[in-house]
């Protein structure tokens, strides 16, 4: 996470999500948090989510339906 401006308890934010990468076993998403009233960028977060088997607790291939859903949000130029 990178924080640009402070957020205070009770502030309302608008979150813009984009997918940076859809891999074989994981997804990388970036979130931009904007202060709703001032429209100022307050923070950017990058989160990697791994697809796992809950039975074996190991990574598995991202299911096709999940892959397709996140590919619709790929950032320009991302692969």
Strand partners, 46: 30
Strand partners, 9: none
Q: What is the mean pLDDT of the chain?
A: 93
Q: Is 0.75 topped by the overall pTM?
A: yes
Percent over 70 (pLDDT), the chain: 96
Band (pLDDT 50/70/90 cuts) for residue 73 is: confident
Residue-level pLDDT at 78: 63
Identify whether the C-beta of residue 19 lies closer than 8 Å to the C-beta of residue 27.
yes
Q: What is the mean pLDDT of residues 37-61?
A: 95
């Amino acid at each position: 996470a990178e924080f640009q401006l402070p957020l205070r308890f009770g502030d309302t934010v608008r979150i813009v999500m984009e997918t940076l990468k859809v891999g074989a076993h994981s997804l990388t998403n970036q979130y931009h948090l904007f202060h709703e009233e001032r429209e100022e960028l307050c923070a950017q977060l990058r989160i990697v989510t791994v697809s796992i088997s809950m039975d074996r607790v190991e990574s598995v291939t991202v299911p096709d339906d999940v892959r397709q859903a996140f590919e619709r949000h790929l950032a320009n130029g991302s692969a």
